Chain A
Amino acid sequence: MFEVRIHGRGGQGVVTAAEMLSLAAFDEGRYAQAFPSFGSERMGAPVVAFCRIDDHEIRTREPVMEPDFLIVQDPTLLHQVDVFGGLKPDGYILINSAKSFDDLGLGEFVQDFRHDRLLTVPASDIAREYTGRAVANAALLGGFAALAGLISLDAVAHAIRERFECAVAEGNVAAAQAAHAWVTDELWELSGATSA
């Protein structure tokens, strides 16, 4: 079972991100469970959403306590909320930011984790370029597909198109593709850098 936890704020589409991730996994014939951990409708409040992916029925209902993959959609949460709690030692982190982990003040923290699994991606900027709005959720899923290698970009695109209306969907699919490419490039560079 692969467990994902997504952190963001109300209004950023965090719950939709988890839902689309589950749709993408379903499209590829897997079982997936997505659910939020939030309450009353309120813009700006911290929101957490979860997605579990497996090859058989998922029975457990607890929140994701030990994620395999963390998506941080809003970097302002980084030093306010314990977004990294429970992350597995070989876990992935994908942060929506143009800055590096060092610049985000996380340089020390990530030393214990796998270097090639920790990335930042300027998803809001990418989203703005392709959709006109800085809603980064779809783009981040494109990045997820590239980083985790668990779900294909095609499945992500399919999920986006299922969830959104035509015009909005296409922009988001393009953003996801761009983020996917961005992350792929980053990974290639990282592997190049470490193999020297």
Chain B
Amino acid sequence: MPRQLEGSRAVAEAVALCRPEVICAYPISPQTHIVENLSQLVKSGELAPCEYVNVESEFAAMSVAIGASATGARAYTATASQGLLYMTEALYNASGLGLPIVMTVANRAIGAPINIWNDHSDSMSQRDSGWIQLYAETNQEALDLHIQAFRLAEQLSTPVMVCMDGFILTHAVERVEMPTQEQVDAFLPPFEPRQLLDPDEPISIGAMVGPEAFMEVKYLAHAKQMHALELIPAIAADFNDAFARESGGLIRCYQAEDADTIVVALGSVLGTIKDTVDELREQGLKIGVVGITSFRPFPLEQVRAALGAAKRVVVLEKALAVGIGGIVSMNVRMALSGIHVHGYTVIAGLGGRPITKASLLGLFTEAAADRLQPLTFLDMDWDVVNRELERMGSSRASGPHAENILRELGTVAAGPV
């Protein structure tokens, strides 16, 4: 049944169809509509049996999910940005304990400076937390991935985060196909925990493990993610059989087979990139796209196979590894180890700066002509940056960067009256 829904609403309904038993949520932009919708579904009795816990912080949210999951309940939460960071300790705890929690991350920039708009710095900062990371390209894929995520998480006993671009997807109203309860029930069996807090069969979960065994326990988390490399495409294939559409999987190629230049990206920007690529193809440029859906585990083999024959690869990413450059780029580089390919990193869209087709047209044209620097910051206002650097150079007490720049841009009152 096609419906016209806000992305957050679509995700909330999809999560509800998965019959979660405990939802624990702390509000943070831009995830709020998801948890508000779920709270309404629980309170009205539409989603039952389900306990909705209004927690006092994101750290509490993940902790409640840990307790619930260890007690055999299907547990779900959602967060973004600062909230994800606040629960970092608990993220590692959940993955280390092997609890199949599913969480939505409504991708948003991390401060300082505080910013509520979209980029990938939040989930990227937790790429090594042991959580599986799936990135949705559209709201359809966002809702689909949650259904796949519960099955994946529970089969592996490992937590999964579904990443969807904050505001761009969460707050966009578009057409989606919403599955029926019967379809989801057939696809997602009831949760069968690998470990369970049960008075009838007492066990201890969370022992301290010393040097004699830590490496082995830790390796198991990695082994599960290696297994996920097989499981993710298998689940996507099953999903296609059950719901008649392609969704999920490890990577998705578009016009990439014969491409000299391939653009790699994650999330919603792939849509804009595809439109741009179509236009450039019409102009005769042999350019294609590889979208990465599963960032953790990182599909080294598949990325290598998809990019290996290209002359150049442009990795367009919405996060910055301060002090070195691109995060996705480094992962892609690893996949291309031993293969000679021109690699370009483009940092774009940080803090919600729009990525326009016009800018991409210029960027890809430059890339195809090998006129790009190894590291590019798309649509950066270098004048503003240089002026601030000058200020810093000329005075020790130059003031907070953000305020200086905003004042210059006229966003803050220009100065003393």
Question: Across the interface, do A62 and B357 meet the contact criterion of CB distance under 8 Å?
Answer: yes
Which A residues touch B2, using CB under 8 A? 26
Q: Does B298 contact A (CB under 8 A)?
A: no
Q: Is the interface of B mostly helix, strand, loop or mixed?
A: mixed
Q: Once the chains are docked, how many angstroms separate the CA of A30 from the CA of B20?
A: 33
**Smallest CB-CB separation from A50: which chain B residue?**
B172
Q: Once the chains are docked, how many angstroms separate the CA of A34 from the CA of B171?
A: 8
Question: Across the interface, do A19 and B173 meet the contact criterion of CB distance under 8 Å?
Answer: yes
**Smallest CB-CB separation from B268: which chain A residue?**
A61
Name the residue among B117, B174, B268 with the largest chain A CB count within 10 angstroms: B174
Q: Once the chains are docked, how many angstroms separate the CA of A60 from the CA of B355?
A: 10
Looking at A35-43, A104-112, A178-186, the stretch in contact with chain B turns out to be: A35-43
Q: Does A65 contact B (CB under 8 A)?
A: yes
CB B113 to nearest CB in A, in angstroms, measures 13
Q: Given that A33-B174, A62-B357 are known contacts, is A39 also in contact with B116, CB under 8 Å in the complex?
A: yes
Question: Across the interface, do A34 and B173 meet the contact criterion of CB distance under 8 Å?
Answer: yes
Q: Mark A13-28, 1 if CB is under 8 A from B, else 0.
A: 0000011001100100
Q: Once the chains are docked, how many angstroms separate the CA of A62 from the CA of B275?
A: 11
Question: Across the interface, do B117 and A39 meet the contact criterion of CB distance under 8 Å?
Answer: yes
Which B residues touch A57, using CB under 8 A? 175
A–B complex contacts, Cβ < 8 Å, 15 sampled: A33-B172, A33-B174, A35-B171, A35-B172, A35-B173, A36-B171, A39-B117, A39-B167, A59-B270, A59-B272, A59-B274, A59-B275, A60-B357, A62-B356, A62-B357
Q: Does A31 contact B (CB under 8 A)?
A: yes
Which B residues touch A87, using CB under 8 A? none
Q: Does A32 contact B (CB under 8 A)?
A: yes
Q: Does B6 contact A (CB under 8 A)?
A: yes
Which A residues touch B354, using CB under 8 A? 62-63
**Smallest CB-CB separation from B278: which chain A residue?**
A59
Q: Does B290 contact A (CB under 8 A)?
A: no
CB A124 to nearest CB in B, in angstroms, measures 24
Q: Once the chains are docked, how many angstroms separate the CA of A8 from the CA of B330?
A: 43
Q: Mark A59-80, 1 if CB is under 8 A from B, else 0.
A: 1111101000000000000000
Q: Does A45 contact B (CB under 8 A)?
A: no
Q: Once the chains are docked, how many angstroms separate the CA of A33 from the CA of B4?
A: 9
**Smallest CB-CB separation from A29: which chain B residue?**
B2
Q: Does B358 contact A (CB under 8 A)?
A: yes
Q: Does B111 contact A (CB under 8 A)?
A: no
Which B residues touch A31, using CB under 8 A? 174-175
